[in-house]
Structure 1
Amino acid sequence: MELEREKGITIKSHAIQMEYVRGGENYTLNLIDTPGHVDFSYEVSRAIASCEGALLVVDASQGIQAQTISNLYLALGHDLEVIPVLNKIDMEAAMIDEVKDQIVELLGCKPEEILAASGKTGLGVEAILEAIIDRIPPPKGDETAPLQALIFDSVFNQFRGIIAYFRVFNGTLRTGDRVKFFNSGSEYTADEIGVLKLRMHPRERIAAGDVGYIISGIKTSADVKVGDTITHVDSPAAEAITGFEDVKPMVFAGLYPVDSDEFEDLRSSLEKLRLNDASLTFEPESSLALGFGFRCGFLGLLHMEIIQERLYREFDMDVITTVPNVSYRVQTTKGETVEVHNPSGLPSPTEIARIEEPYILAQIITKSDYLGNVLKLCIDKRGVMKNQTFITQDRVEVNFEMPLSEIVFDFYDKLKSISRGYASFDYHRIDYRESKLAKLDILLNGEPVDALSSLIYHEHAYSFGRKMCEKLKELIPRQQFDIAIQAAIGAKIIARETVKALRKDVTAKCYGGDISRKRKLLEKQKKGKKRMRQIGNVEVPQQAFLAVLKMD
């Protein structure tokens, strides 16, 4: 992806098959490259569910990162054979011995088991391929058993329909076979099957242990679900493969088309994008300010940014994004529990007994020079420190429990700034806890703009409302009438700014003469402005919705 090259990160897992000859014997290696960032951990979990072993690649110039540790625990949880690899050893800043000690401490392996390599020069790559053959067990599976193939990814091709990528655990699949998907029950003919190399290579037969693709003219995206099992129609398998759990979105935001006529185009674009990114969830919703759109669930703020960018680049869809928020749990006075993904869905204040918000356990690894700044940032974000461990003399790991809503906005950017890019950050959700939250509404000329409302910690509400009003005053263009921008909690207005009206100098023609002539003209103008305000509409520019995300 050109987006991956621009940002210098991996966004999508990529599967590939390669042949390797050793001692006159041919070996087939099925490899999959996964992202490292916490927002794409679902891609990693899917890859790990379909593998036998993993290469733990550590940068010799950076050392172990927080996401390295979290992905390692995922791999160990699936009993995968882990081969530690030290990469970028050709760089001047490489700290080979120090990083080797870190890996030994983390994995409990012997120093000689760690392979040193350089992707740039190709040094040590042969040794890695040898180690894969020697240390990682070959896939188990019975070629004669009923077909069980796990779908781990899919892409949409406008000429050939949906192409599903799968790994065969048991049985054999041939071109022309009738297959069905366990989850949806849909039946199709395997028009073309093959393996994934640099390009797709068609094959007549794919057996247990192989990874490949299937094209069967599927047009409905709901039929192909990542984690589903493919089996034969004639002799189906008794049960589906226990794939991977459904994704739990962390951050919710509304996506609306800039032009309301493009609603159906946005729906089909999101469905095609979900084939390629199974961690995206969405459902239709409507807003008074923005019309019809979708409530989307993302794994994090970077994930949201990438989805928005991919919609624009791959499907030419320009969208407006509302303020991102997390899901809250509301206990009502009747004893019911309501999940709220959107501040506008909050019950009335008289019905709320308490509001609970999701908490996370954040794991931060940083250089000890920046520890003070990192601790201050976490405490400002309502974090509670659990423990602190020195990994080496100048690298420290800190664990904090903090509300998820506090890291949604700009936590990661600030963390990178104060640590000069050295801190790495990873988190996972722990539970819901009671919190004192207030619903902050933004009113334009007395009308609430539901797309800008947010649930916020009560102590931060005043300063956030004040900043919102000031920011909107800068961004909303002046009209022929005064626009009142107000921040309110319930019926109480906590901040106000006014965008002054554009005024024509009506007294310009009155040079000299009685003041009452000027007064008469000004009064007439004032009445016109008042009438205009009653019928006038305030257009909120798209930058206003985006500016809220970037507010300090």
Structure 2
Amino acid sequence: MIPQKLIRNFCIIAHIDHGKSTLADRFIQRARVVEDRLFQDQILDSMDIERERGITIKSQAVTVPFESKDGQLYHLNLVDTPGHVDFSYEVSRAISSCEGALLLIDASQGVEAQTLANLYMAIEHDLEIIPVINKIDLPSADVEGVLEQIEHDLGLPAEDAVKISAKNAIGIDELLETVVERIPAPTGDYDAPLKALIFDSHYNTFRGGIMHCRLFDGVIRPGDDIHMLATDRVFNVEEVGRFRIGFEACEELQAGQVGYIVAGIRTITDIRVGETVTHRDRPCAEALPGFREVKSVVFSSIFPVDANDYNELSAAMEKLQLNDASLFFEKDSSAALGFGFRCGFLGLLHLEVIQERLEREFGLSIVFTAPSVSYRIDLSNGESITVTNPQDFPAQTEIERTYEPFIKATLITPSEYVGNLISLCTEKRGNQLDMIYLDSKRVELVYEMPLSEVLYDFYDRLKSLSRGYASFDYEVIDVRETDLVRLDILLNGQPVDALSMLVYRPNAAFRARAVCKKLREEIPRHQFKIPIQGAVGSTIVARETISALRKDVTAKCYGGDISRKRKLLEKQKEGKKRMKMVGNVELPQKAFLSVLKSGGDD
């Protein structure tokens, strides 16, 4: 049994790309959890996508042994968290299983938008926060400036900050000593009834659903019968253990520890993140509060390219949801693409990651429809409905008012890029709330703007206009009245439902022109002329035409009367007219993807 005074539970939080995974790597190397010959960078980032993009998508836990100066062997339960705004729900879950947090700040970038957002989240959960300045060895490092920002922007004592370089292992021992000294040991009663919180889970083909838990009270051992309070299911525990780089089985988990539980759970829906686990024979008095309900902000439909893969897609979505509690989905169908699912995501990066995971981990070929947000519509009969799918949008004659979600966006940028970013936010229908000079070099801009305007190219343009220096964070605040219309894309006069989108009326013609232009480049030529049109209701707002492939039917006429050539051309014209009436236009998958990836923008 490990005494609670020798356990520390903490997470690493920061803005994206400030060095969280690199610091976790150094902790693991320092503790020799992995042999040097087996070590690789970003060792906790288990997905190929995380390694390729250099980002953390899933929170990962690991137990690191550390012998301090006083000779005591401490067990440090560390959680490496994502930094991108789309994965803030992962961060909130990691924070709830810890007593302390290392707030990592890049010495060359300083305090950024997500640094503040994560700090507020940690304060809400009453965590002990240790500010850590990383990358102090860079030529561009401004340690004194960052210390001022910690004091001024974050309201934390600058003298508490620990200076390190995770890449070159500078200051790692001092930081681990600070963790042991400053972060409180967990509290919990070994003898009380079992009370454990599921903060994550994943699916194993051979062992079923595996729960990642933090124990607040009691002890759990293999052979115990456990009761899930929310789903009211009972299971028998097969194995418990701690997180190393893999899983390490142990005899028991006790109050204050973080670990995993295997209980032969085959039905994926039996595990819910935020669920309280207790003993069947000696249950706890009340459930733990769990987590806030996750709210999807971006919606898109997903379809298999081959309709025969629908069952495989269904199974893959269930397994992904077990591993990613923020993913929401329900059944959907499309005339163009067949059966699929309507999904809710936390943002566009979240959507891209799910798409890549389905393709890589499950070997599926899939198509996503254009992303949309959730709109509220007041109908003329007095009812209100919520619409996330363009196919559910009512006729204009039935609509009284339409509303769209608005966000409060916080941008922190070097002062030389302020003009560019103000122009971008104004173009995206933003309304400036505040402009604060944090110091002589950095400005904080606060805007209200529609969420739908941030969906497509906002983040990319923000980074290009500021040369990568600006940071961005947002929260959804309310819904406001807007002028919303459905934009339909017609191919040879037939609407393609998978390409329909809900847009702000003044932007409809621009979006339609961009989509039509993209399709003209991607759709192969047919034997007949194909018109591509963008329509709002019965009004055509954009058009492109794919010219027909034409066979030279007059090649065999050498001289002679012109009427012979005319007769052959007229015959060809009749044939093309007939073909156009019955001919189906083949829309290749890459045409869908080119439109949907660009969101219809150039």
Q: TM-score, normalised by structure 2?
A: 0.90
What SS is found at the alignment partner of 1:310?
Answer: helix
| Amino acid in structure 1 at the alignment position of 2:583 | G
Q: Matches of 2:84 and 2:156 in 1, distance apart? A: 25
CA distance in 2, matches of 1:224, 1:540: 40
The match for 1:11 among 54, 57, 63 is 57
Q: Does 1:103 align with 2:114?
A: no
Equivalent residue for 2:48?
Answer: 2
Q: 2:288 aligns with which of 227, 236, 241?
A: 241
| Cα displacement (A) at 1:404 | 0.3
Of residues 537, 557, 564, the one that matches 1:510 is 557
User: CA separation in 2, counterparts of 1:144 and 1:106?
Assistant: 44
Which residue matches 2:21? none
Correspondence for 1:371? 418
Question: Which of 161, 164, 185 is the aligned partner of 2:232?
Answer: 185
2:443 is paired with a residue whose SS is strand
Residue 455 of structure 2 corresponds to residue 455 of structure 1: no
For 1:53 and 1:424, locate their aligned partners in 2 and report how far apart those are by CA, in whole Å.
Answer: 25
Match for 1:191: what amino acid?
A: E
Counterpart residue number, 1:327: 374
Paired with 1:182 and 1:13, the residues of 2 have a C-alpha distance of: 24
Is 2:593 the counterpart of 1:532? Answer: no
Instruction: Pick from 436, 456, 459 the counterpart of residue 483 of structure 2.
Output: 436
Q: How does 1:474-485 map to 2 (within 5 A)?
A: 474-485=521-532
1:50 and 2:107 are equivalent in the alignment: no
Segments of 5+ residues of structure 1 without an aligned counterpart are none
Cα separation, 2, equivalents of 1:483 and 1:471? 14
Give 2:66's aligned amino acid. Y
Report the counterpart of residue 353 of structure 2 in structure 1.
306
Shift of residue 121, structure 1, vs aligned partner:
2.0
Task: Give the Å deviation of 1:546.
Answer: 2.3
- Give the TM-score, by structure 1 length: 0.98
Q: CA deviation at 1:12?
A: 1.0
CA distance in 2 between counterparts of 1:109 and 1:214 reads: 37
- Which residue of structure 1 lines up, in the alignment, with residue 447 of structure 2? 400
3-state DSSP of counterpart to 1:146: coil
Unaligned runs of 5+ in 2: 1-46
1:323–1:545 contact (8 Å) kept in structure 2: no
Match of 1:199 among 246, 270, 276: 246
Q: Provide the identity percentage.
A: 56
Output aligned runs, 1:81-100, within 5 Å.
81-100=128-147
**CA offset digits 1:294-340 (Å, max 9, x no partner):** 11111111111111111111111121111111110001111111010
- Contact 2:305–2:365 (CA under 8 A) maintained in structure 1: yes
CA distance in 2, matches of 1:324, 1:379: 22
How far residue 130 of structure 1 moved from its aligned partner, in angstroms, is 1.6
The residue type equivalent to 2:407 in the other structure is: I
How many residues of Structure 1 are paired with residues of Structure 2 in the alignment? 552
| Partner SS, residue 554 of structure 2 | helix
Could you tell me which residue of structure 1 aligns to residue 406 of structure 2? 359
SS at match of 2:555: helix
2:414 and 2:470 in contact (8 A); partners too: yes
Q: How far, CA to CA, are the matches of 1:335 and 1:138 in structure 2?
A: 56
Tell me the residue number matched to 1:79: 126
Post-superposition offset of 1:93: 1.4
**Cα shift at 1:48:** 1.1
Distance 1:173 1:277 in 2: 25
The aligned amino acid for 2:102 is: L
Q: What SS does the corresponding residue of 1:126 show, helix, strand or coil?
A: helix
Distance 1:450 1:179 in 2: 48
Look up the match of 2:83. 36
Residue of structure 2 equivalent to 1:422: 469
Distance (whole Å) between structure 1 residues aligned to residue 526 and residue 284 of structure 2: 67
Aligned AA for 2:254? Answer: A
Equivalent of residue 410 in structure 1, options 457, 461, 482: 457
Deviations 1:158-189 (A, max 9, x none): 11111111001111111110112122222111
Q: Give the counterpart of 1:132 among 179, 191, 204.
A: 179
5 Å matches for 1:140-155? 140-155=187-202
AA paired with 1:13?
S
- Displacement after TM superposition at 1:363 (Å): 0.4
Equivalence for 2:315:
268
Please state whether the residue corresponding to 2:147 is helix, strand or coil.
helix
Match of 2:297, as an amino acid?
M
CA contact (8 A) 2:116 2:154 kept: no
- Write the deviation string for residues 22-61 of structure 1: whole angstroms up to 9, x where unpaired: 3122222211110111010010010111111111000111
* Whole-Å separation in 2 of the counterparts to 1:510 and 1:334: 67
Moved more, 419-428 or 61-70: 61-70
Contact 1:360–1:428 (Cα < 8 Å) also in 2:
yes
Specify the alignment match of 2:159 in structure 1.
Answer: 112
Whole-Å Cα distance in 1 between the matches of residues 592 and 87 of structure 2?
Answer: 25
